[in-house]
Chain A
Amino acid sequence: MIAIIDYEMGNLRSVQKGFETVGYDAVVTRDPTVIDRASHVVLPGVGAFGDCVANLNRFELVEPIRRSISQGKPFLGICLGLQVLFTESEEFGSHQGLDIFKGKVKRFSFAEHHGKGLKVPHMGWNAIRIQTPSPILKGIEPESYVYFVHSYYVEPAEPEVICTETTYGIPFVSSIAHDNIFACQFHPEKSQRIGLQLLRNFGAWN
């Protein structure tokens, strides 16, 4: 059973339906006992970094998340669920993340490109360049297109965790992989066939 953590940061139905479509049972929950029992854990999220951390604290989900990761369960972070794993974000001042990975979350700043069509948020389909092979990307061609919508990106202090990069004005880290963790900036649940393949690979990961 896959547990999708619900902390009131966006609609999770499409993530759940995505897993069901590729043959995996998934439950949307914030119950620590359900998360503890799950074989796989997914942390999605859309919205602001500060709200995200505040809600994880309010619903007492930080410990269950850390526990799942330290137990070695396959863990998938999506969008904010990637960013919040890092040390801190510069979104609206500075906010502390879970610090599972060292590094910062930074805002796209294209002041110097203004008028050249680089808009924020980075919204739409863009290609991923695979830097480090991962079982989560099995069957996914290099330069595949996936759907992004975000204004911030992660900058890991340890480059060895970088799994894919994408270019939007600058190259940025579009996914990371380390031990039992895979986390991506893009939305597999909105990325049609490629995204469903990624969810299928995650469901099969152990």
Chain B
Amino acid sequence: MLTKRIIPCLDVKDGRVVKGVSFVNLRDAGDPVEVAKLYDQAGADELCFLDITASHENRGILLDVVSRTAEQVFMPLTVGGGVRTLDDIRHLLKAGADKVSINTAAVQNPEFVTEAANRFGTQCIVVAVDAKQVSTASENQARWEIFTHGGRNPTGLDAIEWARHMEAKGAGEILLTSMDQDGQQDGYDLPLTAAVSDAVSIPVIASGGAGTLDHLYDALAVGKADAVLAASIFHYRTYSVAEAKTYLFNRGLPIRQVNGYES
């Protein structure tokens, strides 16, 4: 049976992990390669790097990080942040990324997703969807809108429609982030996650809001997500990947157990 995936996500800026990672046994907790190795040993199902480097000139640093990671880590790696051209994708895949995540560039030009899928294969094109609830309490039906630039810029696009559109354009996977929940550690946006999961027939990764293991369970079971992305709860060692997996497995979800891995 296909298992649900647990995906730690590292924010990387100028080649360094941004949110500190509190692992005792790391020589350098700011080095994405060291952290990636640790998650590999811990039995994470995939890994995600989100590059938040402001300037495009420092792109080479990210490629170097990706390439050093790919040499030591034998699990799928998704890299997102600042992916705007086919050349950006080519360079990341060549450096060793398995998938790239496209965000703003897809909003600005949906055909870019099609071009990327045609050139590199739909399986390596993830579309990142950043959504915020815009419906008011008096409305019967919840509505979410797509925002870009870290939630600052509204686009007028309906999130559910947009996810469907991106699937039609060639996305192989949707990385769905609730801008309302992101960073709150208060749980994923379950109605949003469920609505998107139901709307598309490609895998959906839920992101934004994980604070407890219950939250992971709810995103997978209630939100019907295929995978959960989490940062803080793993980085700060609130829970280990192994603890999360054991918990979810014991609650009856299909999870790849990590016997023999360090917790």
Contacts and interface: CB of A to CB of B under 8 A. Distances in A.
B256 interface: yes
Nearest to B74: A192
Contact of B173 (A123, A148, A189, A196): A123
Given A117-B224, A192-B74, A11 B93 contact: yes
Nearest to A16: B71
Contacts, number: 96
A119 B174 CA distance: 12
| From A18, A48, A125, residue with most partner B Cβ within 10 Å | A125
Interface string A172-206: 00000000000000000111110110000000000
A193 B203 contact: no
Contacts of B94: 11
Contacts of B202: 119-121
B201 A114 contact: yes
Contacts of B200: 119
Contacts of B74: 14, 17-18, 21, 189-192, 195-196
B75 A147 contact: yes
B43 A17 contact: no
A122 B5 CA distance: 12
| From B94, B200, B203, B224, residue with most partner A Cβ within 10 Å | B203
Contacts of A193: 260-261
A192 B203 contact: no
B227 A124 contact: yes
Given A150-B123, A190-B74, A121 B172 contact: yes
Interface string B190-218: 00000001101111000000000000000
Contacts of A119: 200-203, 226
Interface string A13-44: 11001100100000000000000000000000
Contacts of B227: 124
Contacts of A190: 74-76, 98
Contacts of A145: 3, 256
Contact of B3 (A14, A124, A150): A124
Interface SS majority for chain B: loop
Given A114-B201, A145-B256, A17 B70 contact: yes
A181 B122 CA distance: 28
Nearest to B93: A11
B45 A124 contact: yes
A169 to B, nearest CB: 9
Interface residues of A, number: 38
A55 to B, nearest CB: 13
A121 B174 CA distance: 12
Contacts of B3: 124-126, 145
| From B2, B43, B67, B227, residue with most partner A Cβ within 10 Å | B2
Given A14-B74, A147-B75, A190-B75, A126 B2 contact: yes
A192 B43 CA distance: 8
B115 to A, nearest CB: 15
Contacts of B124: 46
B70 to A, nearest CB: 6
A47 interface: yes
A170 to B, nearest CB: 12
Contact of A149 (B96, B123, B256, B260): B123
Interface in A109-156: 110, 114-115, 117, 119-127, 145, 147-151
Given A11-B94, A13-B96, A17-B70, A121 B75 contact: no
A190 B76 CA distance: 6
B1 interface: yes
B2 A125 contact: yes
A51 B154 CA distance: 39
Contacts of B224: 117
A124 B2 contact: yes
15 contacts: A10-B93, A10-B121, A11-B70, A17-B70, A46-B123, A120-B202, A121-B122, A121-B172, A124-B3, A124-B203, A126-B3, A147-B76, A149-B76, A190-B75, A192-B43
Q: Which 6 pairs show the lowest CB-CB distances between chains A and B?
A: A145-B256, A125-B256, A47-B121, A126-B2, A125-B3, A149-B123
